[in-house]
């Protein structure tokens, strides 16, 4: 009698625990999807944030894949990408960054199909993509933020 | 560092979810132990070992700073736990064998979650050749089971090769389409208003599909054919975003489907038992009818673990495990298991949407569509929503090949989700 009762209770506990698990997963999974209140921004700022990419460049007819540097490097800010663009402090690089935090051959952006891939050339200070270290070759998306030894770049595909 | 901190948070969440599942598993084991106190010791040891392996995997990922999805492992764990408990309840020998496959599968999962999967994009013709070979071998050296000739015997273990061909198919399609999709979208010729890409781009794809279909007709494995074709269409649509492929593909499928209906007797039989199983209650419809009775007997909260009569259903431990689950856990349990599957599929498509390059996207979407189709086809079959085609239910059915191949799929999905940058 007691055994039968224990078994019945345990069988219900078993089912309940299955649901506890499912609800825990769902709770965590959709926690982030609730609309967060926006910080106070003017209408124009919101409109700008919701628009995709830089608007001025998007309408330009010569919009080719390029890197735009945050600071001018030897007078240039815009670097159009070839099939292989090397970045480093060495003179023979496509993009030369004269900084002691940048390795001689620091990183490379190469074209594969119609995609551009970023690869770190085992540099001393590392290459960061949107704040994460680049360990293996990674494909670049429009609007990505690249940091090479302290120098900031933004990648525009069109 | 921010990255490491984020990884630790993900793995901590994973640990929390794994603990929930461990509680579920131990209560289930307790029920089985109280029913048969004499033979519970082996089960308890197996359950402890399985739980330890999952937590060890979690610790391993934490140690190597693996930033993969935190939910997937616990979803697999809950399905494996249910599988172990149900199989032990059906026949302890099944559970003992499946336990060994769990260890193999989890090892495969751990390996496939850490390999550099982008390298896999380079061997597309190797996949096509390997897939064709794996389909061809059972035709000549295979063993026939349940009308389908798709098992390969090596020593004492039998391998269902079509389970591994699935993976090769998705790998092939992902690497092929990620390189050629721009050409498939480009419209070169128009045919009676429909604009079609030229044959050069279509050729290899159609050939691959034709080969697999021919082999499957020889092997009579209808379920696998359906899954292959569905996955093929889904991936073609995902890579090109052209609805015309879906429409044309479905039309071709309808034509092919009705052709097989008239040519092959076993297909005709399947459809007839689907429309009216009671007419064949003693013969071909027996399995489906027993399955439906099991669903009915289960009711809302089930007969209770160990209180049902699942042995009336033939092949209850493989294709019809969902009927056994519904009988013993009821509608409540069956719906919870369905929810777990839905979450798994949702996660898979989310990983595909977040993946950065075309190959990863297609790979994740392909694997997810594959799993979704398989789940839909077999649960539809057991509930008489669709004609019955024998495929396994991922992670729940008894069967080593199915478990290991699905573990590899989940490992690769987690691998794709870990490369957020």
What is the ipTM score, two decimals?
A: 0.88
pTM of the model: 0.79
| Length reported for chain B | 421
Chain B contact present for A18, CB below 8 A: yes
pLDDT band per the 50, 70, 90 thresholds, residue A58 = very low
Average pLDDT over residues A35-64: 50
- Chain B residues lying within 8 Å of A25, measured CB to CB: 17, 71, 74-75, 343
Q: Hey, what are A116's tokens?
A: 């551009």
User: Which is nearest to B4 in space by CA: A107, A133, A138?
Assistant: A133
The alpha carbon of residue A75 is apart from the nearest alpha carbon of chain B, in Å, by 30
User: Which is nearest to B366 in space by CA: B89, B117, B161?
Assistant: B117
Separation in Å, CA B278 to CA A155, B270, B314, B337, B378 = 65, 13, 16, 28, 20
Residue A46's pLDDT is 47
10 Å CB burial of residue B416 (0-12, 13-18, 19+) is: buried
Residue ranges per structural domain of chain B: 121-420
Residue B184's pLDDT is 61
CB B140 within 8 A of CB B134: no
Look at A18 and B336 and tell me if their CB atoms are within 8 Å. yes
pLDDT band per the 50, 70, 90 thresholds, residue A34 = low
Residue B294's pLDDT is 93
Residue B60's pLDDT is 94
Tell whether the model's pLDDT for residue A61 goes beyond 60: no
Provide the residue-wise pLDDT of chain B in tens; the chain has 421 residues. 677 888 899 999 999 999 999 999 999 999 999 888 887 788 889 999 999 999 999 999 999 989 899 999 999 999 999 999 999 999 989 999 999 999 999 999 999 999 988 888 888 889 888 887 887 787 777 666 655 566 777 767 778 888 888 899 899 889 888 887 666 655 555 555 555 555 655 666 676 667 666 766 777 777 888 888 888 888 888 887 778 778 877 887 788 778 878 887 878 888 888 888 888 888 888 889 999 999 999 989 888 888 888 888 888 888 899 999 999 999 999 999 999 999 999 999 999 998 888 889 999 999 999 999 999 999 999 999 988 887 899 999 998 899 999 999 999 999 999 875 5
Query: In sequence order, what are the residues at sequence separation of 6 or more whose Cβ sits closer than 8 angstroms to the Cβ of residue A84?
Result: A94, A108, A109, A110, A111
| Ranges A23-27, A68-72, B95-99, B156-160: which has the least confidence | B156-160
B343 closest CB neighbour out of A25, A115, A137: A25
CB B238 within 8 A of CB B245: no
User: Which is nearest to B225 in space by CA: B365, B400, B375, B391?
Assistant: B391
The alpha carbon of residue B255 is apart from the nearest alpha carbon of chain A, in Å, by 37
Look at A17 and B421 and tell me if their CB atoms are within 8 Å. no
- Chain A residues lying within 8 Å of B336, measured CB to CB: 15, 18-19, 22
Average pLDDT over residues A80-102: 86
Tell whether the model's pLDDT for residue A102 goes beyond 70: yes
Rounded Cα distance, B50 and B275, in Å: 42
Count contacts between A and B (CB, < 8 Å): 96
Query: Which residue in A has a C-alpha nearest to residue B300's C-alpha?
Result: A15
CB B199 within 8 A of CB B206: no
Residue B16's pLDDT is 94
Element (H, E) at B385: none
User: Which is nearest to B358 in space by CA: B416, B412, B411?
Assistant: B416
Residue B186's pLDDT is 57
Residue B349's pLDDT is 95
Query: Which residue in B has a C-alpha nearest to residue A21's C-alpha?
Result: B20
- Chain A residues lying within 8 Å of B78, measured CB to CB: 18, 21
Residue A93's pLDDT is 86
A22 closest CB neighbour out of B13, B329, B339: B339
Tell whether the model's pLDDT for residue A62 goes beyond 60: no
Considering chain A, what is the average pLDDT of its residues? Answer: 79
Q: How many CB atoms lie within 10 A of CB B99?
A: 20
Average pLDDT over residues A128-148: 84
Q: How many CB atoms lie within 10 A of CB B8?
A: 12
Rounded Cα distance, A2 and A156, in Å: 71
Residue B362's pLDDT is 92
Three-state SS for B211-253 is: HHHHHHHHHCCHHHHHHHHHHHHHHHHHHHCCHHHHHHHHHHH
Tell whether the model's pLDDT for residue A59 goes beyond 60: no
Residue B306's pLDDT is 84
Bridge partners of A133, per DSSP, are A128
Q: How many CB atoms lie within 10 A of CB B44?
A: 14
Residue B205's pLDDT is 64
């Amino acid at each position: 009698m007691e055994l039968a009762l224990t078994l019945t209770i345990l069988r219900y506990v078993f089912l309940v625990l299955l649901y506890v698990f499912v609800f825990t997963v769902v709770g965590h999974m959709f926690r982030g999807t609730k609309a967060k209140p926006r910080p106070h921004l003017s209408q124009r700022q919101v409109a700008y944030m919701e628009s995709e990419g830089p608007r001025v460049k998007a309408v330009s007819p010569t919009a080719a894949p390029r890197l735009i540097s945050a600071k001018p490097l030897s007078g240039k800010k815009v670097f159009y990408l070839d099939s292989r663009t090397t970045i480093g402090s060495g003179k023979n690089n496509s993009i030369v960054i004269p900084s002691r935090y940048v390795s001689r051959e620091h990183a490379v952006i190469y074209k594969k199909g119609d995609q551009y891939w970023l690869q770190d050339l085992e540099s001393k200070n590392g290459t960061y993509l949107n704040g994460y270290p680049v360990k293996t070759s990674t494909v670049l998306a429009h609007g990505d933020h690249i940091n090479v030894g302290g120098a900031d770049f933004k990648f525009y595909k069109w | 560092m921010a990255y490491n901190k984020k990884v630790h948070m993900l793995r901590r969440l994973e640990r929390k979810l794994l603990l929930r599942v461990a509680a579920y598993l131990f209560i289930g084991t307790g029920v089985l132990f109280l029913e048969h106190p004499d033979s519970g010791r082996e089960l308890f040891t197996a359950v402890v070992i399985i739980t330890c392996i999952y937590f060890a995997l979690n610790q391993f990922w934490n140690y190597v700073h693996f930033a993969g999805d935190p939910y997937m492992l616990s979803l697999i764990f809950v399905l494996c736990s249910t599988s172990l408990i149900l199989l032990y309840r059906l026949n302890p020998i099944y559970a003992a064998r499946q336990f060994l496959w769990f260890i193999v599968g989890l090892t495969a999962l751990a390996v496939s979650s850490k390999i550099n999967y982008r390298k896999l994009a380079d061997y597309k013709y190797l996949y096509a050749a390997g897939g064709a070979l794996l389909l061809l071998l059972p035709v000549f050296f295979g063993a026939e089971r349940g009308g389908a000739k798709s098992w390969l015997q090596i020593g004492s273990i039998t391998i269902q090769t079509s389970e591994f061909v699935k993976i090769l198919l998705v790998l092939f399609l992902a690497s092929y389409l990620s390189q050629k999709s721009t050409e498939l979208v480009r419209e070169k010729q128009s045919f009676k208003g429909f604009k079609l890409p030229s044959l050069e781009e279509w050729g290899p794809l159609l050939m691959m599909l034709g080969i697999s279909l021919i082999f499957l007709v020889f092997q009579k494995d209808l379920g696998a054919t359906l899954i292959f074709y569905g996955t093929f269409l889904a991936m073609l649509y995902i890579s090109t975003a052209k609805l015309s492929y879906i429409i044309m593909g479905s039309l071709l499928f309808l034509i092919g489907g009705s052709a097989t209906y008239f040519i092959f007797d076993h297909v005709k039989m399947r459809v007839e038992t689907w429309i009216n199983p009671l007419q064949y209650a003693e013969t071909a419809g027996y399995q489906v009818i027993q399955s439906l009775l099991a669903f009915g007997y289960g009711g809302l909260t089930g007969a209770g673990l160990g209180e049902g009569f699942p042995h009336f259903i033939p092949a209850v431990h493989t294709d019809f495990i969902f009927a056994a689950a519904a009988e013993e856990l009821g509608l409540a349990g069956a719906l919870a298991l369905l929810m777990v599957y839905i979450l798994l599929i949702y996660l898979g498509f989310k990983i595909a949407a977040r993946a950065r390059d075309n190959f990863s996207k297609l790979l994740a979407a392909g694997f997810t569509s594959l799993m979704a189709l398989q789940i839909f086809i077999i649960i539809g079959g057991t509930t008489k929503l669709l004609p019955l085609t024998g495929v396994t239910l991922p992670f729940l059915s008894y069967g080593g090949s199915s478990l290991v191949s699905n573990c590899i799929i989940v490992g690769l999905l987690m691998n794709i989700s870990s490369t957020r940058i």
